[in-house]
Structure 1
Amino acid sequence: MLKDQLPWIVLGIVVVVLVVAGIVLSRVDVTSPVSLRRRVRPHRGHFRNGEVPPADLKQAAIVINPTKFTDQGPVRERIAATCRAVGWGEPLFYETTAEDPGRGQAMQAVKDGAKVVCSLGGDGTVRHVASGLVGTETPLGILPGGTGNLLARNLDLPVDAFDTAMTVALTGRNRRIDVGELVLGDTDRDGNPVGPSESHYFLVISGIGMDAAIMAGTNENLKSKVGWAAYMLSGVKSLVSPEFRTTIRLDTDPEFRRRARGVMIGNCGRLLGGLVLMPNARVDDNQLDVVIASPKGVVGWVPVATRVLTRQRKGHPTLDQRTCQEVRVRVDRPLPVQVDGDVVGEATEVNAIVRPGVLSVRVSAT
């Protein structure tokens, strides 16, 4: 009997196995093995030999003063090559114009996502580009392209090695520095503007009187040929410039009066040729340094020159130095005014105030 039923029993077992197998297989994607459906972590050497996963590369913006170059092609390629060498994307380039010497271009670069905005031109270009970055977190990179490069010198940045300066701009550290703000125009006794006024940022030195006259009298063609020595020639002509009467107020101190040939207001004090006008001035000390120059005739410049050459910190009657956070200077007649080497007009009154730490500058990492 059992022998007769054995084939049916075997057939039943086979059917049950097939049904169970069908149920199991219906819940498994047999076309996609587990090894393919599971995301396997690649070996740590998987992305070597140029197999780098796609990523957004950082970009630098370069604001160029086109008047400084007869052919921008080679310098643009050097900049792009340096960017590629340190793993950055292709740089963004913007040119200054007579109507907008750098501020608008810097602001546009920030909007375009640049991680650093570099100025390529003279001290004026640096100042205008910086003015577009004041109050932002985007750092300023300084590329030497002018005669003075004064802010770069005060920050110990390379001024004779372009590729090194570009590398610092890309890979250096950020340093917060102060900025001076100079306002031309009359104010009342409470410091409120009376009539039209105009405001300018300065990074190094502003001034009214003799120093502005030197800047105004410097021949641009001569400067392009002999560099900073052109300022010296103009300075010799200004040694016997007329005195003027000035009234000065520092912070909330009482006003005092002087006869002077020039009043300089500095954010830092290192000048061309290794000269230091304001030995105590620092770009991040939250204050301004004021120098009142009042030598008598050509002979009177001897102690002034001695003090500058020896970097003496002790005051001198003909070169009086003060510190403050705000200063008002009134003069007895309209005189030329300069900010970082650019003559911005004439005025009978200027007011300057320090803006602490409002600008980030890329400096050497060491």
Structure 2
Amino acid sequence: MPSDSTDSNKFKQVLVVYNPASGTVGDFDRRLGAMVRHFAEEKGYVVNARPLTQDMTSAEMLAPVMGPFELVVAVGGDGTVGFVLGAVAESGLKIPVGIIPFGTGNLLARALKISTGKHNEDPLERAMDTIIHGDTINLDLGKMNGRWFTIDAGTGPIADAITKPIKEHKTKFRLLAYGWPLLKSVTHRPLRYQLTIDDGEKLDVEASGIFITNSSEMGIGVEGIEHLSDGVLDLLVMNPRSVVDYWRLLARFFRWFILNQDSGHVPYLLRKVKRVHIEMIPKQVSRSPLHRFARKTRDILSGKTHVPKIRFEAEAMIDGEPCGTTPCTIEIVPGAVLVRVPRAEAPAIVK
């Protein structure tokens, strides 16, 4: 009589990991039925669905049921996708990950061309076609102080603003929910940082936002799927000081959000890096006339006078979520995980 392990190996298994709280995953039961049908009819897969819980570890998420999984599918927003990709990378498993974007921004899915970002798009249909009929690429991931990220890490008032929208606002207003926090960031003076790059080169910079990106986020960074597998990160130092500077940032965002187009030249791209260490220098930076005007307007509207304090550390974030404070070290992990992408978009196909 064959053993249980032999019988279990006959099953081709796919693990579907989903976040019940993601922005558009509400009718997951119906969508799961469609996924099971697609996987069974076209690939002969047995589907194991596993909801993410708040305290779930990577090992718990990837624990096999009837033998090893041949495919992992992340269903949800950028947070869910990032957690799944980081877990697979940390485990060392060389199995492809498919992405079904059911979140608010779906930034990585847009960067990988799995999603177009159009409001009338069916995320399930396009994503399933990618998973079943697409190609597999080696995807770079970043790490900040040991935590994985897929799109970017950052610090400074502009980066901090990206972490502020609450879930209800993101669900209702989607990416427009970031508008008010970003506008409020104008009231904060730039900060001074020391950057230690790659082989030890040190730079002192003033910035309202430092971003280390693997691809474009909301118009910030360099577009193109090839940048997700090039073995380097883009170091961006943003220090807008005038209405014109902020207007250019806003124009990039709306060009990306509404037209789904790259804005070409990135004026605040400092260089390509593999590793950067960021420390905040506790020294106040002078405000521009725009910052002074915005600060004074806020004081008048709030009826309070805000007294500036010298700061010794700055908040940091990864993929739009808070992630401690400076000092922080960010580095690239080339080819950290395998990901399914549309066939026409794959620049580095894994054979």
**Shift in Å at residue 306 of structure 1?**
5.5
Do structure 1's residue 146 and structure 2's residue 94 form an aligned pair?
Answer: no
Query: In structure 1, what is the equivalent of residue 277 of structure 2?
Result: 328
SS at match of 1:359: strand
CA RMSD of aligned residues (A): 2.4
Residue 134 (structure 2) aligned to one of 172, 184, 187: 172
Paired letter, 1:114:
F
Highest CA radius of gyration, 1 or 2?
A: 1
Query: In structure 1, what is the equivalent of residue 295 of structure 2?
Result: none
| % identical equivalent positions | 24
Structure 2 stretches of 5 or more lacking a match? 1-8, 256-261, 282-311, 345-351
SS at match of 1:239: helix
Contact (CA 8 Å) 2:215, 2:222: kept in 1 or not? yes
Residue 20 (structure 2) aligned to one of 66, 69, 88: 66
Equivalent-residue separation in structure 2 for 1:142 and 1:105 (angstroms): 20
Equivalent-residue separation in structure 2 for 1:64 and 1:326 (angstroms): 32
Q: 1:1-366 maps to which residues of 2 (within 5 A)?
A: 56-68=10-22, 69-100=25-56, 103-109=58-64, 112-134=67-89, 135-158=92-115, 160-161=121-122, 162-183=124-145, 199-269=146-216, 271-272=217-218, 275=219, 277-279=221-223, 282-305=227-250, 311-313=263-265, 315=267, 319-332=268-281, 333-345=312-324, 347-366=325-344
Structure possessing the higher relative contact order (Cα contacts under 8 Å, 6 or more residues apart): 2
Question: Displaced runs of 4+ in structure 1, greater than 6 A?
Answer: none
TM-score, with structure 1 as normaliser: 0.72
Cα gap change, 1:343 to 1:109, in 2 (>3 Å): farther
SS at match of 1:59: strand
Equivalent-residue separation in structure 2 for 1:303 and 1:230 (angstroms): 19
Equivalent-residue separation in structure 2 for 1:86 and 1:314 (angstroms): 43
Q: Which deviations, in whole Å up to 9, do the C-alpha atoms of 1:187-244 show, x marking residues without a partner? A: xxxxxxxxxxxx2111111111224321332122111112111112321222332211
Contact (CA 8 Å) 2:197, 2:277: kept in 1 or not? yes
SS at match of 2:314: strand
TM-score, with structure 2 as normaliser: 0.75
Contact (CA 8 Å) 2:107, 2:151: kept in 1 or not? yes
Equivalent-residue separation in structure 2 for 1:314 and 1:220 (angstroms): 30
Contact (CA 8 Å) 1:60, 1:170: kept in 2 or not? no
